[in-house]
Amino acid sequence: MQEKEIENVKRAKLRQEKPAVYDKVIKIAERHQQGIATPIIDIAYNYACNLKCQHCSAARFQKKARKLTPADLKKLSDEADSLGLCQFNLSGGEPLIFKDLDEVIAALQPSKFHLSMSTNGHFMTQEMARHLKAIGLDKVKISMDDFDEKLHDSNRNSPGAYQKAVAAMMNARDAGLSVVVQTVVTHQNCKTDRTVQMAKFAQENDFTLDVMVARAIGAWEGKHEVLVDEEDAEFLWQVHQKYPALHRDTFPSYGMDKGCGCVDSTLHLTQFGDILPCVFIHIAIGNIFEESLADIIKRGQSIKCFQKYSRLCLSGEDREFINKYMTKFYGKQLPILWSEAFDEEDFVK
């Protein structure tokens, strides 16, 4: 399928399954033109996980007394709905080991939101996939570190992880869930057959391949040599032309070229209520236990670098942003506060 067809199929499915969400989604382009943010909120409800992946930075988040509960999520969901937001992604940790997963999904009000979940797929049996679909989940995002089974397993410190991830993708698809394969590319492995093979695999199986460029954070903190360059980015664009299933969040979609989506299209919520402009930018722009979501979005939009269009991914490609702001949280307990990262001159007057 070509890109336009893929987008049309997704929209038709949403219209049929969740008409109230569809009605909000089709307004996104107009809202964007008017400067109104419509972010997907990625929610790290709990950092508990069954794996110990090399790249994980969850342990670096400073532990605080108050943690998210289903009641907090219900409140967030009400606020988000009143602001016209329409998408949540549940992450962690590993959501499939959350004891209160059903309660969490119910609190997010599945009839009002498109719901996705980031998972390593270990526990995505056929029964689990059918159950998730029945309680309102729409999409799963399953990470694949490498198309090479051995490399994936060693990175995850878990023999058999690759096979489980692939089985999870098939189980999810068979249950009617949309499937996104998530992978990270570095400057070292971007322009290789690995990228092409993963795109081909996704295209042939009706999956999306979400390519995330490497950030110099977590295990790679300060290692700017892993960052992709212009040629790598061009290579990804060319593979996308051949296999439209390969996607980056800076690529235009649904006729919109929004560039980097910090605040306007993406927010990340930590287990401790902090809101980040993106899961990779560990600078809190507010906390939902202290302020309204509307006020936090307003603050985010008042920061110049998030307000202006950026063709480049700020956290993984834009050297100026990386050197000026990402380096501010290197070596620190995460996240740092917006007041620590941005000066008066960084704000729109």
Residues that bind ligand SF4 (CB under 6 A): 249-250, 260-262, 266, 278, 280, 313-316
**Residue placing its CB nearer to ligand SF4 in the complex, 236 or 313:** 313
- Least distance to ligand SF4, CB of residue 236, Å: 13
Q: Work out how close the CB of 335 gets to ligand SF4 at its nearest, in angstroms, rounded to a whole number.
A: 14
At its nearest, how many Å lie between ligand SF4 and the CB of residue 87?
Answer: 14
- Supply the minimum distance, in Å, between the C-beta of residue 256 and ligand SF4: 14
Cβ closest to ligand SF4, residue 110 vs residue 300: 300
CB of 266 to ligand SF4, least distance (A): 4
Closer Cβ to ligand SF4, 129 or 293, answer by number: 293
Report the distance separating Cα 346 and Cα 300, nearest Å: 11
Residue 315 C-beta: closest distance to ligand SF4, Å: 4
Q: For residues 22 and 251, which CB has a smaller minimum distance to ligand SF4 in the complex? A: 251
CB nearer to ligand SF4: pick between 18 and 139: 139
Say if residue 93 is preceded by a cis peptide, omega within 30 of 0.
yes
Nearest distance in Å: CB 212, ligand SF4: 7
Smaller CB distance to ligand SF4: residue 39 or 110? 39
Kindly list the distances between the CA atom of residue 272 and the CA atoms of 252, 276, 343, in Å, as whole numbers in the listed order.
33, 11, 25
Measured from the CB atom, the residue of 249 and 274 that comes closer to ligand SF4 is 249
Nearer to ligand SF4, 132 or 217 (CB): 217
Q: How far is the CB of 317 from ligand SF4 (least distance, A)?
A: 7
Region for 222 from its dihedrals, namely left if φ exceeds 0, alpha if ψ lies in -120 to 50, beta otherwise: left
How is residue 298 written in tokens? 């307003």
Evaluate the omega torsion of the peptide bond into residue 95 and state whether it is cis, within 30 degrees of 0.
no
Which distant-in-sequence residues (6+ apart) come within 8 Å of 135 by Cβ? Answer: 102, 105, 106, 110
